[in-house]
Amino acid sequence: MLSNHFTLTKRHLGLLMLVGGLVAFAAIIGIDILDVGREGGIGPAQQMALGGCLLIALVGVTLIPLGSQPA
Amino acid sequence: MTEQTLPTDTAVTSRLPLLAAHRLLMSAALVILIGYFVVYAVYAVNLMQFPFDYDQGEGFEMVDTILFSQGQSPYQDTNTYPFYSSNYPPLFHVIAAPFVWLFGEAYWYGRLLGFLGTLVCASAIGFAVYRESRHKWIAILSGLAFLASNTIYHIGPLFRQHMTMVMFETLAVVVLAHASEIEDTAKRRRTLATGLAFVLAAGYTKQLAIATAAAVFVFLFIRQPRRAVVWAVLFALVGGGIFLAINVATNGQWWLQTIAANVNDFHLDQTVGLFRLWFSLHGFLLVPAALYALYELYFSRLSIYSVWFATAVVNSVLSGKWGAGDSYFATAIAALCILSGLFAARTLNRSWTFPRNYLSRLLIDPFRRFAPALATAGLIVIPLLYLGYGRAVLHMPTEGAVFGTVANWLGLEPNANNGFYDSAGRIAGGYADIGHLTTQADTDAGWRIVERVRAVEGPVLSEEAAFNLLAGKEVITNPTQLLNLWLNGMFDSTELVGMIEDQAFGLVIMRAQFYPTDVLQAIARNYDHDETIHMNGFDYLLLVPK
């Protein structure tokens, strides 16, 4: 990864998107768990963000089988 | 992994009528988009001749420019007289400041800069498409398509910084698109430095460019992670250093006025409405652009344009913020014009290639036998996409010798101010209610307001800056900024309300009434409505002390 010629593959990108999407999903949910005093629960903007996170993770899953093709 | 080009062989002779139809349709698309460019140029020249605020907020960008030209900071404490501060970064106003030295206080040069910025942007879009595809007609159509967008049209020639930001963003991605592949180290570094300087320029023109900064570094990271991290650190040092220097020089007002005050309420309905409108206007190019981005994601290498498109679309969600609007889609429109151009050129060049993978086996292989027919159909479908786009973005004046005749021929009825037709209608909150030409009656009305300002003793509280500037009086308050601050609990209105209670202002001029509620209440208690002057489609309320 530190090489001047290293480039991300579709698999790398897929894994990054999968992990990133899931971590972001958990973080958004975490806001409500940690900040329980907040009113309104998961609002429409949060729902959109959660949907976006899941979409990123899902796209990541579909990229993983593409293997070593450069991203 | 084996790459396969789709078979596209058909006898040239059998395609001659199709080629003729293709050329005819391409010419028609070109004529229509050039027609929109003419409308745009007429609109820009009309606005440059209009001496007052056309879009709310222009006057305050003028004030920022004047302050910079005098070596003063526009990031001021709004709790004290004259209760004024800018909420935008400085670069656009700094660029415009020399015009103040040369021509005095006027709106035309700010509008000219905005207009020229869109032309540079369109040229960069065309250049990008041509560089990747070598298809000059599609390159020209892509650039013109950008200028034909309803959104670009109506905000382009304003004294606002937004399109200058988009210009810098577009230049950045075009410069950086192939930077990672440059073998010569010195040249690569120069290219990266130039591209990132444009990103920095975009960010110091308007805060919204942060999404383009993110896109650029994501792209560079995908191509070469180590280099991306090194340049990101350098970028953060330079960008952060400038930020801290301005913040120290303004005693923290820079942070308060441009960052903290910009955390506004979010209206999901507005975002949803603007996305629907964006799709209805740009769908003919948006769908090919999205398909091209998916193609790169699954069958080729991701270009900077696809990454930029994705982040710009996500960033457009911020259009639901209070004070935001359809202008927040401008970056995404620039990106979609490039991607749709690449889609069109690849289709016409018959250069789609699909590596062997599970998706090509599932989605492409079953249709390979139709490839020649699809490639031939592309000759007709591609120009039809631009023609469809031309119909979807229909906007033009409906009055006057030329435009009136064309509007009659098209059967258009005005649906906006001053005899203007805009296919966007006014169905989505946040869609700017502008685009029409100004008239002599508007100019006359503006001067009537200026005369009222000149006629009173003492300061005048005006919701737009032009009247005070032209009357030679000090500009007091930036209403929307005061409201931003007030909504965030950062504005102490005591001194301003006190002046209103004392009837210190000889005249109050209101348009949208975007002052904080307690300021509006104080005005209502102490001032009476005296006259309403209609200008540029809006009612200006003139209030005098009770």
- In tens, the pLDDT along B5-35 reads 655 555 555 678 899 999 999 999 999 999 9
Residues of A in contact with B358 (CB under 8 A): 65-66
In 3D, which of B326, B333, B216, B354 has the Cα closest to residue B285? B333
Contact A62 B298 (CB under 8 A): yes
How far does the CA of residue A5 sit from the closest CA of chain B (Å)? 7
Residue partners of B470: CB distance under 8 A and separation at least 6: B51, B52, B450, B453
B257-271 as b/e: b if 16+ CB within 10 A: bbeebbebebbeebb
How far does the CA of residue A51 sit from the closest CA of chain B (Å)? 12
Exposure of B514 in the CB half-sphere (CA atoms within 13 A): 19
How far does the CA of residue B306 sit from the closest CA of chain A (Å)? 12
Report the SS3 class of residue B117. helix
Q: Which two tokens stand for residue B279?
A: 């799709």
Residues of B in contact with A13 (CB under 8 A): 222, 302
d(C-alpha B66, C-alpha B110), whole Å = 11
Contact A45 B302 (CB under 8 A): no
d(C-alpha B85, C-alpha B476), whole Å = 10
How far does the CA of residue B356 sit from the closest CA of chain A (Å)? 9
Contact B225 A1 (CB under 8 A): yes
What is the predicted pLDDT for the residue at B443? Answer: 97
| Contact by Cβ (8 Å): A20, A70 | no
B18 torsion bin: left (phi>0), alpha (psi -120 to 50), beta (else): alpha
d(C-alpha B354, C-alpha B364), whole Å = 8
| Contact by Cβ (8 Å): B356, B1 | yes
- Displacement of CA B27 from its chain's centroid (Å): 28
Contact A71 B225 (CB under 8 A): no
d(C-alpha A34, C-alpha B146), whole Å = 45
Q: Is A17 touching B (CB cutoff 8 A)?
A: no
User: Which carries the bigger pLDDT value, residue B49 or residue A45?
Assistant: B49
pLDDT tens, position by position, B41-58: 999 999 999 999 999 889
Give the B window 389-408 contacts with A, CB below 8 Å.
Answer: none
Report the SS3 class of residue B396. strand
Chain A interface, best mutation among B222, B263, B353, B363, by max A CB count within 10 A: B222
How far does the CA of residue A16 sit from the closest CA of chain B (Å)? 11
User: Is the pLDDT confidence value at B1 over 50?
Assistant: no
- Which stretches within B177-318 are classed as H helix? 185-203, 210-223, 225-249, 253-258, 268-299, 304-315
Mean pLDDT (whole number) for A34-49: 73
d(C-alpha B516, C-alpha B460), whole Å = 17
Sign, CA torsion B90/B328/B388/B399:
negative
pLDDT tens, position by position, B329-369: 999 999 999 999 999 999 999 999 999 999 999 999 999 99
d(C-alpha A27, C-alpha B342), whole Å = 37
d(C-alpha A67, C-alpha B455), whole Å = 76
Query: How would residue B461 be classed by pLDDT, with cut points 50, 70 and 90?
Result: very high
Contact A71 B222 (CB under 8 A): yes
Sign, CA torsion B481/B483/B484/B485:
positive
| Contact by Cβ (8 Å): B83, B496 | yes
What is the predicted pLDDT for the residue at A36? Answer: 58
Least confident segment among A65-69, B208-212, B382-386, B431-435: B431-435
User: Is the pLDDT confidence value at B216 over 70?
Assistant: yes
Report the SS3 class of residue B28. helix
Contact A63 B298 (CB under 8 A): yes
User: Is the pLDDT confidence value at B3 over 60?
Assistant: no
- DSSP states of A9-67: BHHHHHHHHHHHHHHHHHHHHHHHHH-TT-SSSS-HHHHHHHHHHHHHHHHHHHHGGGT
Name residue B534's beta-bridge partners: B539
| Contact by Cβ (8 Å): B75, B85 | yes
Q: Is A65 touching B (CB cutoff 8 A)?
A: yes
- DSSP states of B93-106: HHHHHHHHHHH-S-
What is the predicted pLDDT for the residue at B495? Answer: 97
Whether residue B82 has a cis bond before it, omega within 30° of 0: yes
Q: Which two tokens stand for residue B405?
A: 């005749």
pLDDT tens, position by position, B516-539: 999 999 999 999 999 999 999 899
Interface pTM (ipTM) of the complex?
0.92
Element of type H or E holding B538: strand B538-545
Contact B297 A59 (CB under 8 A): yes
Contact B355 A4 (CB under 8 A): no
CA distances for B393 relative to A16, A70, B121, B278, B424, angstroms: 38, 38, 19, 10, 7
User: Is the pLDDT confidence value at B206 over 80?
Assistant: yes
